Amino acid sequence: MKNKSLNISLIIIISLSLLLPSSRSYAQSETELQLKLRRDFGYGGPGGDIQGNFSMSISGPENLIRVEYYIDGDPIGESVDSTSFRFKFKTDDFSLGVHKLSAVGYTSNGRVLDSNEITRNFVSAQEGYSTVIKIVAILLGLLIGVSLLSYAFTILLGRNKKSSVELGAPRSYGPLGGTICPKCGKPFSRHIWGLNIGMGKFDRCPHCNKWSITNRVSPSQLRAAELAELGDAKTDTEVEVPEISKEERMRKELEDSRFDDI
């Protein structure tokens, strides 16, 4: 009986020891200041490079009443706005190079709390602009490369390949759906290699081989385009009888009169 009671006591002690660190960790996260940095207007690049207008803000305990902000241990300002305790600053007001941002909070019951540190490299406006230009140039290069690859795919996958589907018959347009060529008005399946440019997909029509910006259309619109395609084909196959001029008619009558009995 004593051994059973001892085992129960050990289980309770072990359970409490497992719970206590969690409770202590939760209490620390409640009172710890969390410093956050936000870009208002400017440049923020890889490696922690920043330039322009930024804001520091704090999240902490509910009884926080004042926050002081520091750069490299030197005070740069404070905030008593309990909504976010936000403080704005410009990187141009400080020397170029690596800086450490931090904050100290004061609670209503007299506690002083230190925040985490954020390390950033303040760069010049010229360096920030040049980096942005390089990034834009890379993106434009990728955009042009994707466009060229899309065009190459259309050629390799059969530019002049004709569809075996009968005109006017319903057809499947695949997972990307179908669209209608704004050039020739014929329906076709949207290609996976088409280039998305925001306002639509820059794609090539397999019927007229022309590139244009297309959008996915409804099945009813596709069906109407299929029927119109059939109607156009019938019109093209109709043979038009050319009109005979008056002179040609008289000449034909004279030639035919040779065979009449006199």
Q: pLDDT tens digit string along 21-56? A: 333 333 333 447 899 999 998 888 777 889 999 999
Tokens for 248? 């040609």
What are the tens digits of pLDDT across the range 146-165?
767 766 665 665 554 545 56
Amino acid at 56: M
Backbone angles phi, psi at 180, to 5 degrees: -120, 125
Tokens for 61? 């305990």
- Grouping H, G, I as helix, E, B as strand and the rest as coil, residue 226 is helix
- Grouping H, G, I as helix, E, B as strand and the rest as coil, residue 17 is helix
CA distances from 212 to 63, 158, 180, 194, 249 (A): 61, 19, 10, 10, 50
Tokens for 143? 């955009």
Range in 16-25, 26-35, 91-100, 176-185 with the lowest mean pLDDT: 16-25
Tokens for 242? 């050319």
Beta carbons within 8 Å of 43's beta carbon, 6+ residues apart: 49, 50, 51, 52, 123, 128, 129, 131, 132
Question: Measured between alpha carbons, how far is 49 from 119 in angstroms, rounded to an integer?
Answer: 10
Percent of all residues in the chain with a pLDDT value above 90, rounded to a whole number: 25
Domains assigned to the chain:
29-123 (2.60.40.10), 156-236 (no CATH)
> 0.75 cut: is pTM over it?
no
CA 178 vs. chain centroid, Å, equals: 22
Asked if pLDDT for residue 132 goes beyond 80, the answer is no
| β-strands 49-59, 118-122 pairing | parallel
Pick the closest to residue 120 from 46, 58, 59 (CA basis).
46
Buried b / exposed e over 150-182, threshold 16 CB at 10 Å, is beeebeeeeeeeeeeeeeeeebebeeeebbbbe
Pick the closest to residue 179 from 152, 206, 155 (CA basis).
206
